[in-house]
Amino acid sequence: MNLKHLIFRKSINHISKLSPKPASTISAAISTSLHPISSVQSSAYIKNPKPISPFIRRIHLTRETKLSYTSVEANVVSSDSEDEDDGTTKEFLSRFVWIMRGKLSEVYTDCDKETINGMLLVIVEKVVEEMEKGGIQRMVGSKVAIPSQDFSEDLWKTVWEASNMVLEDMEKASKKERMKQFLQAEEVKEKCRFAGEVGIRGDLLRELRFKWAKEKMEENDFYESLQRFRSGKQEKGGNVLKEQAVAAEDTPAIASLPKRKGKIKYKIYGLDLSDPKWAEVADKIHEKEEMLWPLEPKPISGKCKLVMDKILSLKKEDDPSQLLAEWIQLLQPTRVDWITLLDKLERKNPGIHLKVMELVLGEESFQTNVRDYTKLIDAYAKEDRVEDVERILRKMVENGMMPDSLTITVLVHMYSKVGNVARANDAFESLRNYGFQPDTKIYNSMMMAYINAGEPRQGELLLREMETRDIKPSEEIYMALLRSYARRGDAVGAGRIANSMQFAGFQHNLEYFALLVEAYGQAGDCDQARSNFDNMIKLGHKPDDKCTANMIAAYEKKNLLDKALNLLLELEKDGFEPGIETYTVLVDWLGRLRLVDETEKLLDKIAELGEVPPLKVHVSLCDMYSRAKSEKKALQAVGVLEARKDELGPNEFERIITALCAGGFVQDAQRILQLMEAKGFAASEQVKFSLSSSQVFSQKRPKK
């Protein structure tokens, strides 16, 4: 039997008009109250059947029931005029006989096949009889089995359960066949094709396909039920309308519907959606959805594509305005078309991207918003193009768009990066005026701006503000502030940062101790510097060349040469070897003491290291040889310094001039002063007085 025509709604209503309810657990065995039918009686039933059409066994292979049994001859009453209903009836009885055969065989294991067939014949005749008089609807539709006078209670209960099982299986088979049809529906196929294009594969795609087919089937059933309901209403109400039409002739017609007083109010989850504000909310949501899910860009072909290719191939110095005007005239672009063009330019021609983007911001079809200006400003800021950023800001304000917090954040980062502390501070205060609480990145940018500008105290104030707001600064920020205080020789500030780091729980590393040694050393507190130096060694950190040099420089401030030498001896016992930094400090110290021979020995050790002597060494040599009045070596040192004049600072220039004046090399001192002024450094009054005094009282340097 073809499974595509198992169950139809009219057929089911004709059989029993049942609503398939889940049957309860099938009885484990049929009670012995079933009166056994002997072989003779069974044969009598078969030999003298009632005048009903033969019942032919059919085999149905479904997930619910798999039939495998021999043929049974049964007589059923059917109507020749309704072939479709007859087929459904036979389907029901075929499945029913298969289930009942199994149950009878389990109970009556001693009975032969003919006896079982005779029992089945009696049961089927009773079921058909109930179907003819409509009793099976009452039997199957009830939650419990209704006892019968012909069968025992247990047997009738088993018949009731088997009937429910058959109807449930037929319903499932019907739904399966209908599901197959809707799986092949064009709408479902189209959704599956789209899902495959976006990358959905495998089990997920299969689940979605069945879900869409089920939704389509439910939708179809809904509209079919509406159509049936409408047809039934029309049939039932036909006569009623005729009667009402006659009665309505004597009554006056209603001109209009009665007016309802008040406004309709409806609530969902406690929200009064009759308020007009919800209409505005819906419009805003619709606008945002258009921004989040924009339309597809227009297809580009022909001349428009040629113009677009020319735009993509422009050079950085070319003017794209003419090509853009032609492209606009050909395509009439929307915002999504502009965004597509800008994305292609960013990938294929980043050199012209920002120039085109700046022109696009002025196009009405682009629908420019604040965020578009922010993107352009951020792109310029990453390249440190401050003038371009300020120009875009002015253009933004002229078009009536004020910078928001995100734009100002970009400005803070940019001005901090380029070292413009004043503008960075203005942008930072603007953020606060907006009510925006700066985050860690903004604080870090501002503190680095203050540190690079030589204002660590201002950076420390921001650090305290972060701590007040329970924002934990990073270790890098603490180290940057400590480094700034150490270079300035501010031991008090360095101590505050060191204590804050200790309270914050950061581990003390080698750089931490080295910076403290440097800070206290430059401040002239060699005892505190040595204390930190010893603590570093106790914690297992081996001092490096720079840290040792800072400790030696601290002793140099107090001219404690014996302690410095003892420190070097102790370190050499532990395997320390002085490097270029330590030798540089020793050369400067011995040079100030005019220990020429000892200094030159240190120069030999520097040469053995294979490194170029730093600038500080040459300044120290010039100072030493000038004061020692070693003309040749002093002039050699001056020549080296003149060659490296771009590296000299105001302190180095003044030390050289002072040393040359002390050695009587007035003309060379005058030449160095001119170099100093040419670099924009102003000489101090002490240097000017020293030079003028040397010109008056010193004798001229003898000629070679």
Place of tokens 């189209």: 190
Higher pLDDT, 553 or 162: 553
| Residue 270 resides in a domain | no
| Residue 607 resides in a domain | yes
CA distance 97 to 120: 7
In Å, how far from its chain's centre is CA 381? Answer: 24
pLDDT number for residue 287: 74
What amino acid occupies position 249?
A: E
Residue 293 pLDDT class (50, 70, 90 cuts) = low
How many CB atoms neighbour CB 306 within 10 A? Answer: 13
- 68-90 pLDDT, tens digit each: 333 333 333 333 445 556 677 77
Among 218, 235, 265, give the residue marking a domain's end. Answer: 218
Residues 6 or more apart whose CB falls under 8 angstroms from that of 474 comprise: 440, 444
Burial of residue 282 (CB within 10 Å: 0-12, 13-18, 19+) is: exposed
Output b/e per residue, 544-564; b: 16+ Cβ within 10 A: ebbbbbbbbbbbbeeeebeeb
Q: Which of 58, 51, 95 is nearest to 77 (CA)?
A: 51
What is the gyration radius of the CA atoms in the chain, in angstroms? Answer: 51
- DSSP state, residue 17: -
Residues 6 or more apart whose CB falls under 8 angstroms from that of 593 comprise: 561
Residues 6 or more apart whose CB falls under 8 angstroms from that of 700 comprise: none
| Residue 124 resides in a domain | yes
Helix (H, G, I), strand (E, B) or coil at 75: strand
Place of tokens 């009439």: 332
- What angle do the packed helices 580-592 and 615-627 form, to 10 degrees? 20
Which of the residue ranges 115-129, 230-244, 257-271 would you say has the lowest mean pLDDT? 257-271
Among 180, 196, 218, give the residue marking a domain's end. Answer: 218
Q: Which runs of consecutive H residues, i.e. helices, occur in 184-201?
A: 186-197
Residue 4 pLDDT class (50, 70, 90 cuts) = very low
| Residue 588 resides in a domain | yes
Q: Which of 174, 195, 193, 186 is nearest to 216 (CA)?
A: 186
| Residue 561 resides in a domain | no
Mean pLDDT, the chain, as a whole number? 78
Residue 206 pLDDT class (50, 70, 90 cuts) = confident
| Residue 423 resides in a domain | no
HEC letters along 352-402: HHHHHHHHHCCCHHHCCCHHHHHHHHHHHHHCCCHHHHHHHHHHHHHCCCC
pLDDT number for residue 48: 35
| Residue 538 resides in a domain | no
pLDDT at 632 over 50: yes
- 368-423 pLDDT, tens digit each: 999 999 999 999 999 989 999 999 999 999 988 888 888 889 999 999 988 889 99
Residue 246 pLDDT class (50, 70, 90 cuts) = low
Q: What average pLDDT does this structure show over 217-231? A: 86
pLDDT at 1 over 50: no
pLDDT number for residue 491: 92
pLDDT at 16 over 50: no
What amino acid occupies position 591?
A: G
| Residue 617 resides in a domain | yes
pLDDT number for residue 263: 59
Most confident of 189-203, 229-243, 377-391: 377-391
pLDDT at 53 over 70: no
Among 218, 235, 267, give the residue marking a domain's end. Answer: 218
pLDDT at 662 over 50: yes
pLDDT at 33 over 50: no
DSSP H or E run through 267: strand 267-268
Structural domain for 604, as ranges: 581-700
Can you give the CATH number for the domain in which 652 is found? 1.25.40.10
pLDDT at 689 over 90: no
- Number of domain units in the chain: 2
Percent of the chain with pLDDT strictly greater than 90: 27
- 139-166 pLDDT, tens digit each: 555 544 555 566 777 787 888 888 888 8
Higher pLDDT, 555 or 156: 555
State pTM to two decimals: 0.54
Higher pLDDT, 632 or 130: 632
CA distance 665 to 699: 9
pLDDT at 171 over 90: no
Q: Which runs of consecutive H residues, i.e. helices, occur in 6-82?
A: 9-15, 39-47
pLDDT number for residue 588: 93
Q: 614: which 2 tokens? A: 């730093």
- 461-494 pLDDT, tens digit each: 999 999 898 888 999 999 999 999 999 999 999 9
